[in-house]
Amino acid sequence: MVETAPNLISPPLPAVWPRFDQPLGLGVMASGNGSNLKAIAQSIHQGDLHAQIRVVIYNNPGAQVAARAARLGLPAVLLNHREYASRVALDQAIVATLNAHGVDWVVMAGWMRCVTAGLIDAFPGQVLNIHPSLLPSFPGLKAVDQALAAGVTVAGCTVHHVELAVDSGPVVMQAVVPVVATDTPASLQARIQRQEHRIYPAAIALAAESRNCT
Ligand code: GAR
| Structural domains in the chain plus CATH codes | 19-212 (3.40.50.170)
Residues 174-195 have pLDDT tens digits of: 999 999 999 999 999 999 999 9
Residues 30-59 have pLDDT tens digits of: 999 999 999 999 999 999 999 999 999 999
State the distance from the centre of ligand 1 to the C-alpha of 131, rounded, in angstroms: 6
Q: pLDDT (tens digit, 0 to 9) for every residue of the chain, 214 residues total?
A: 455 556 678 888 999 999 999 999 999 999 999 999 999 999 999 999 999 999 999 999 999 999 999 999 999 999 999 999 999 999 999 999 999 999 999 999 999 999 999 999 999 999 999 999 999 999 999 999 999 999 999 999 999 999 999 999 999 999 999 999 999 999 999 999 999 999 999 999 999 999 876 5
- Give the global pTM: 0.95
What pLDDT sits at residue 5?
A: 59
Q: How large a percentage of the chain has pLDDT more than 70?
A: 96
With a CB cutoff of 8 Å and minimum separation 6, the contacts of 35 are 110, 193, 196, 197
> Per the residue annotation, which of 50, 131, 160, 197 is the catalytic one?
131
User: Would you put residue 167 in left (φ > 0), alpha (ψ -120 to 50) or beta?
Assistant: left
State the distance from the centre of ligand 1 to the C-alpha of 174, rounded, in angstroms: 14
194 is an annotated ligand-binding site residue? no
What pLDDT sits at residue 4?
A: 52
Q: Which of 153, 142, 154 is nearest to 186 (CA)?
A: 142
Atom nearest to 192 CA in ligand 1: 2
What pLDDT sits at residue 103?
A: 98
What pLDDT sits at residue 8?
A: 78
Ligand 1 contacts (CB < 6 A) are 30, 32-36, 109-110, 130-132, 143, 157, 167, 193, 196
What pLDDT sits at residue 1?
A: 47
What pLDDT sits at residue 85?
A: 97
Alpha-carbon distance values, 33 to 104, 141, 181, 192 (Å): 23, 16, 27, 15
Query: How would you classify the pairing of strands 105-108 and 24-30?
Result: parallel
Q: Is residue 192 within 8 Å of 179, Cβ to Cβ?
A: no
Known catalytic membership, residue 160 = no
> For all residues of the chain together, what is the average pLDDT?
95
